[in-house]
């Protein structure tokens, strides 16, 4: 019998990471440069493991092989088979991340036997003055881009956005981007760990060396057009499923929980991932109650067709395929 599944978070040390994942989200990690908490992952070598209940110790890929459509949904299983299609993270940027981009599905499959990486960011907290980079400040082309890069002026070609809690961005494949210092966010993305780094602020790692850049690989993967739709416009009406991002790769809604709300999911034919991005929430399924504290994540199998969420004042992201 399937039930709401919680997984052990996987810590990722990054030279730009800090302590917010532990101090703010109460993650059971150790260190001062923890940049990412992988909440739900089927990336090879980093498969998430169930933390409690009868299925404790099972990996996400094992569960899909056993339960198939009951876990992920019939249409999802027909499309992706035993591959779990999304990677769910919380990210703490104490310092600026590198400027990077991700290849689209075809290029990623051809070069890396991987999905591409369209991704979404929901800002959970931001220090005053925090910014991120999303795309170019003007239309450009490969030649102009390379000139800026060679002259050490790439920063002048990038588009910067000041951010606050609740701001949301959909970063398509090919978009140059970077999370800025002081930002804590929830990230939903295709299952991929393929990244092309194009600029790293000329900094060095603990070994004294600069990190590898992927200048040549990136050239035919970059979208050189200026886009004005990276930032998502949405509403957050209380006790409603408010659409944020709808794409072929995942759909994300936000629920501002004020009291109790029942949600029917049979028509979705998909698993549901809930991310507690503000406040604590309680979930009830089949007369059993589960706590979803701030900063936690739960996977509701597709065969569970109804659940209730309750809180005095919280925000939850709801992710489906």
Structure tokens at 215: 């200048």
Q: Rounded to an integer, what is the distance from CA 114 to the centroid of its chain?
A: 17
CA 120 to chain CA centroid, Å, is 6
CA 156 – CA 148 distance, rounded (Å): 8
Catalytic annotation, residues: 197
Q: What are phi and psi of 271, to 5 degrees?
A: -65, 165
Closest to 14 (Cα-Cα) out of 243, 250, 148, 206: 206
Which helix (H) or strand (E) segment holds residue 150: the answer is helix 142-150
Question: Which of 191, 157, 159 is CA-nearest to residue 178?
Answer: 159
Catalogue the E-assigned strands of the chain.
10-18, 34-40, 86-93, 99-101, 119-126, 131-136, 158-162, 168-171, 177-178, 183-190, 196-199, 242-246, 251-264, 272-278, 281-285, 288-292, 297-300, 306-320
């Amino acid at each position: 019998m399937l039930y709401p599944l919680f997984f052990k978070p996987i810590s990722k040390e990054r030279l730009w990471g800090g302590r917010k994942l532990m101090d703010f989200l109460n993650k059971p990690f150790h260190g001062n440069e923890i940049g990412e908490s992988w909440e739900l992952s089927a990336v090879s070598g980093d498969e998430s493991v169930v933390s409690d209940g009868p299925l404790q110790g099972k990996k996400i890929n094992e569960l899909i092989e056993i339960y198939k459509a009951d876990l992920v949904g019939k249409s999802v299983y027909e499309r992706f088979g035993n591959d779990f299609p999304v990677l769910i993270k919380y990210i703490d940027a104490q310092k600026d991340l590198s400027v990077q981009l991700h290849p689209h599905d075809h290029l990623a499959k051809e070069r890396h036997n991987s999905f591409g990486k369209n991704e979404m960011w929901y800002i959970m907290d931001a220090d005053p003055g925090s910014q991120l980079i999303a795309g170019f400040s003007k239309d450009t082309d490969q030649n102009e881009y390379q000139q800026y890069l060679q002259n050490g002026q790439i920063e002048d070609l990038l588009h910067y956005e000041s951010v606050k809690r609740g701001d949301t961005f959909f970063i398509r494949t090919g978009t140059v981007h970077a999370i800025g210092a002081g930002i804590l966010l929830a990230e939903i993305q295709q299952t991929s760990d393929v990244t092309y780094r194009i600029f790293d602020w000329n900094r060095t790692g603990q070994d004294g060396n600069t990190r590898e850049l992927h200048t040549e690989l990136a050239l035919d993967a970059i979208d050189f057009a200026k886009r004005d739709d990276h930032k998502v416009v949405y509403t957050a009406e209380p006790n409603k499923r408010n659409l944020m991002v709808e794409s072929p790769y995942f759909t994300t809604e936000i629920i501002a929980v004020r009291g109790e709300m029942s949600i029917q999911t049979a028509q979705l034919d998909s698993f549901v991932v809930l991310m507690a991005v503000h406040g604590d929430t309680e979930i009830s399924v089949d007369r059993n109650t589960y706590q979803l504290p701030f900063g936690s994540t739960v996977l509701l199998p597709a065969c569970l067709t109804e659940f209730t969420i309750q809180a005095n004042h919280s925000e939850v992201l709801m992710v489906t395929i």
